[in-house]
Structure 1
């Protein structure tokens, strides 16, 4: 089901399936990509309880093996509307019989979309309702619409002058890194940058970045509690994914133990943690 909120002349649409953002529009301009399944069938999936791909799509926990697909399962389930106001809407997903077969934890994942004067903020809250320590990762995957030639766009970072990209092979880290120099904190875009999959940065210094179109600010994306970043597109696709993450894919040498997996957070029973991203239309 598609849910809409309209405030400050900004229209936001969210699909209850995956609580997936499908539109941020102002002045009849949609800043989120319209799906073309030739390239990709998503617009802004939520990544939970893992980010990226597990080695062999499996992990172990307390001596038991589990299977889980890339980016987890949250994007595949209908979320329930928890609350709706004039300028906000909250969705919630909790564990069920199917999720427990993949991820043996009782959890609550709450996503709140709030329109503000310049755009949209998305808040993510993960709560551990289990009696045991709960490891998890979470990430966002919004696809920003590209309506001009890709080379006309660039990304300016708040503080970074170089990105160290960790290379992926078969969607796991190979152990190789690729330094990407920025010109005045700016990455000029071209499809060749994504020839080997996403640019994945485990450490960066910026709390926000700004996408420029024809050297003019287009949209700014800010992060809170997301220390890792993916940037991705496909050749000739009309989108650019800006992916703030807490967590990332396995490397080739992983042991498979979920507790020891790099990038995971761990919640105590009844503990919760908050994350957010904001979009400011320029």
Structure 2
């Protein structure tokens, strides 16, 4: 089942499976900004990453001396959410623990994904709560944007713009895991031309603090995508490195893949979030199209 949100200027489609943003169209031009999940390149649009972001070392983790298994990016993207609220321009979808999730994730949780469309800006909100005494989790977005946006242009006609314009710490990957001992300084004080070779070593991962805005723009036309957020500690930029795919992801993360030196204990995982009973975790980011 899909949900349709509409404003005077834009239309958004949300898939109830995975609570996944699957379309974001500018009415005036009919331009589609979200990647349409061609499985030849990548069969998803904008999956929700929960309860882990990235890959666990050997796909396992431990909690209270017991080992559990979990695939890359967790299970939320592969589950059907319930619709708890919907208006003409907003929706809230819910996922709760069940017997299946408790087998490999021993926490009682309630995950709410909220979408609010105002004009050409979509706000995506994450709310996590728990009935367990304590809960450890990561959460993040993975929206993929069509690049090129306009016929007659190609990826190299677009660039990433960073605001504020300043250097940020880059975290390299070694295979599927991060290598936190080899951090470098990324020159994000200037725009970077988009090209497939930018992703030859997989995702580009940055540490981020405060408010950040990342835009995909072109000098050849006025269309673009602007992703903004506050206090997401990481962002990933990704396009497949094994095939030249016509999309680029901008991924705000509250969490990150395991480090190559990880000991597997969830309590000590880099970037992990801890929540206790009676408290709530809330984060949101926006996507604006033009």
Normalising to structure 1: TM-score of the pair? 0.94
Aligned to 1:133: 134
Q: Deviations over 1:177-229 (max 9, x none)?
A: 344324x5312211111101100112356521221123656121111331210
Aligned partners of 1:87 and 1:114 also within 8 Å: yes
Residues 210 and 217, structure 1, Cα contact 8 Å, conserved in 2: no
Equivalent residue number for residue 236 of structure 2? 230
Correspondent of 1:77 among 79, 84, 87: 79
Name the residue aligned to 1:272. 280
Matches of 2:139 and 2:197, distance apart in 1: 28
**8 A Cα contact 2:140 2:251, kept in partner:** yes
Structure 1 pair 255–160 and aligned structure 2 pair: CA distance change class (3 A): farther
State the SS of the aligned residue for 1:98.
Answer: helix
Q: Is the 8 A contact 1:163 1:204 kept in 2?
A: no
The 1-side partners of 2:197 and 2:177 are apart by 20
- Paired residue for 2:25? 25
Asked if the contact 1:159/1:205 (under 8 Å) is kept, the reply is no
Checking the alignment, whether the CA contact within 8 Å between 2:6 and 2:12 is kept in structure 1 is yes
Q: Which residue of 2 aligns with 1:111?
A: 113
Mark the runs of 5 or more structure 2 residues left unpaired by the alignment: none
Does residue 262 in structure 1 map to residue 264 in structure 2?
A: no
- Asked if 1:54 corresponds to 2:59, the answer is no
Task: Provide runs of 4+ in structure 1 moved above 6 Å.
Answer: none
Matches within 5 A, 1:130-279: 130=132, 132-147=133-148, 148-174=153-179, 175-182=181-188, 185-204=190-209, 206-214=211-219, 216=222, 218-234=224-240, 235-279=243-287
Q: Is the 8 A contact 2:26 2:120 kept in 1?
A: no
Question: Aligned residue pairs: how many?
Answer: 280
TM-score calculated relative to the size of structure 2: 0.92
What's the secondary structure of 2:85's corresponding residue?
strand
Partner Cα separation in structure 2 for residue 97 and residue 208 of structure 1: 39
Gaps of 5+ in 1: none
What are the superposed Cα offsets for residues 119-176 of structure 1, whole Å, 9 maximum, x if unpaired?
211111011121x211111000000111231111111111143343222122111343
- CA deviation after TM superposition for structure 1 residue 113, in Å: 0.8
SS in 2 for 1:36: coil
Alpha-carbon distance in structure 2 between the residues aligned to 1:47 and 1:169: 20
- Deviation, 1:256, is 0.5
Task: Output the CA distance in 2 between the equivalents of 1:92 and 1:22.
Answer: 17
Q: Greater CA deviation, 153-162 or 271-280?
A: 153-162
1:246 deviates by 0.5
Q: Aligned to 1:262, what secondary structure does the other structure show?
A: coil
Distance 2:261 2:22 in 1: 37
Q: Which residue in the other structure is 2:15 paired with?
A: 15
* CA pair 160-101 structure 1, distance change in 2 beyond 3 A: farther
